[in-house]
């Protein structure tokens, strides 16, 4: 009976750590491929960078413009889509706003710390000076 439980646990382990993540990656890649359009910058699995010139959904192929050279690949050969500058510009203000809010909330605490540290340093110097003056007398 215990050997059956061990086998079931091994199958469950394989499913949750090997099969399920691979299925998620496949769904994400399929979603990316379905949202491709002419003019998108892409990177192929061979690390070739180019711009999509034509998408043929019946043959599942894509024609890539690589600086004037037109190459045809399978849609599955696309590794990732490089975000365009307009998409990056739209995402950047949102991230900058979040970063500025975080830095604004942290600024008063960081300004208070150096002032207290400098006061402690000044206190440390005063006794040292008086000790050396006492030693001279």
- Walk along the chain (137 residues) and give the pLDDT tens digit of each residue: 889 999 999 999 999 888 999 999 999 999 998 999 999 999 999 999 999 999 998 999 999 999 889 999 999 999 999 987 766 566 566 556 555 555 555 545 444 445 445 444 455 555 555 555 555 54
Cα-based torsion angle of the residue sequence 89, 94, 97, 98 in order, rounded to the nearest 10 degrees: -130
Q: Which residues of 105-129 are buried (b: 16+ CB within 10 A; e: fewer)?
A: eeeeeeeeeeeeeeeeeeeeeeeee
The pLDDT, as a whole number, for residue 113 is 47
**What is the model's pLDDT at position 93?**
63
Q: Distance between the two ends of the chain, CA-based, in angstroms?
A: 91
C-alpha–C-alpha distance, residues 39 and 89, integer Å: 17
pLDDT score recorded for residue 112: 47
Residue 73 makes CB contacts below 8 A (sequence gap 6+) with 44, 61, 62, 63, 64
**What is the rounded distance in angstroms from the CA atom of residue 123 to the CA atom of residue 132?**
15
Quote the pLDDT of residue 49.
93
């Amino acid at each position: 009976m215990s050997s059956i439980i061990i086998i079931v646990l091994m199958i469950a382990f394989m499913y949750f750590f090997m099969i399920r993540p691979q299925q998620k990656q496949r769904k994400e890649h399929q979603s990316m491929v379905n949202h491709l359009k002419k003019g998108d910058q892409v990177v192929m699995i061979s690390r070739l960078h180019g711009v999509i010139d034509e998408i043929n959904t019946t043959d599942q192929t894509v024609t890539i413009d690589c600086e004037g050279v037109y190459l045809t690949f399978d849609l599955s050969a696309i590794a990732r889509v490089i975000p365009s500058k307009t998409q990056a510009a739209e995402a950047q203000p949102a991230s900058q706003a979040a970063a500025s809010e975080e830095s604004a909330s942290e600024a008063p605490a960081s300004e208070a710390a150096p002032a207290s540290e400098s006061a402690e340093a000044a206190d440390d110097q005063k006794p040292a000076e008086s000790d050396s003056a006492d030693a001279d007398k």
